[in-house]
Structure 1
Amino acid sequence: MTDESTAKQTSGAEQMFGDFAPGLVHFTDDVLFGEVWKRDQLSAKERSLVTITCLATSGNTGQLVYHLGLARENGNSEEELIEALTHLAFYAGWPKAMAAMSVAKQVFTS
């Protein structure tokens, strides 16, 4: 039997795609979050801020819910994240910033 406290927690990628797309689960869990996010050149806070702005500027708001929560866990304040989304409106476009801010409002006020 496996002790529950030492059992590996099932990732979001595993829950969503499990046996359907095991390669994507591997790359997400082991490479992206297991290696890339662990590199020393940027802090987790900085990586989260970069990720939030990339998702917003590319219009990938579906991933923002998770990453806004992770950004807070990684030390970004709601005020910092709102300011970053406001700032990118001038560089990435108003509609993308408005869409991202709508997601942020949902995450931060729920």
Structure 2
Amino acid sequence: MPTHEPTGAQAMFGGFAPQLVHLTDDVLFGQVWPDEGLSRRDRSLVTVAALVALYRGNELPFHLKTAMGP
């Protein structure tokens, strides 16, 4: 049986907040991000702006990579 690496959410809080893992993995990244209302790039640009405004620099690398495009 193949094993898989835990998602970021599973690694950070899977042991004590399984519903938060579900919301992060299945709802946020499974339903919201793939929605075609905005491109991933545009959605990431908005997210980068919000992260900068909120001083959340630790989350920027992931979103900057996506915001800069392919």
Report TM bin, short chain: 0.7 to 0.9
Give, as a single letter, the amino acid of the residue that structure 1 aligns with 2:63: H
Aligned to 2:31: 35
Separation in structure 2 between the aligned mates of residue 42 and residue 9 of structure 1, nearest angstrom = 29
Q: Structure 1: which 5+ residue stretches go unaligned? A: 77-110
Query: Secondary structure of the residue that 2:33 maps to in structure 1?
Result: helix
Distance apart, 1:8 and its partner CA: 4.8
Distance apart, 1:31 and its partner CA: 0.6
The Cα RMSD (Å) is 1.8
After the TM superposition, which residues 53-68 of structure 1 pair with which residues of structure 2 at under 5 Å, given as runs? Answer: 53-68=49-64
Higher gyration radius (CA): 1
Higher helix share: 1
Runs (4+) off by over 6 Å: none
Aligned to 2:8: 12
Distance apart, 1:59 and its partner CA: 1.6
TM-score by length of 1: 0.55
Distance apart, 1:16 and its partner CA: 1.1
Separation in structure 1 between the aligned mates of residue 30 and residue 4 of structure 2, nearest angstrom = 14
Distance apart, 1:66 and its partner CA: 2.6
Distance apart, 1:68 and its partner CA: 2.1
Query: Secondary structure of the residue that 2:38 maps to in structure 1?
Result: coil
> Cα deviations across residues 41-99 of structure 1 (Å, max 9, x unaligned)?
10001111111011101222221133223434xx16xxxxxxxxxxxxxxxxxxxxxxx
Q: Structure 2: which 5+ residue stretches go unaligned? A: none
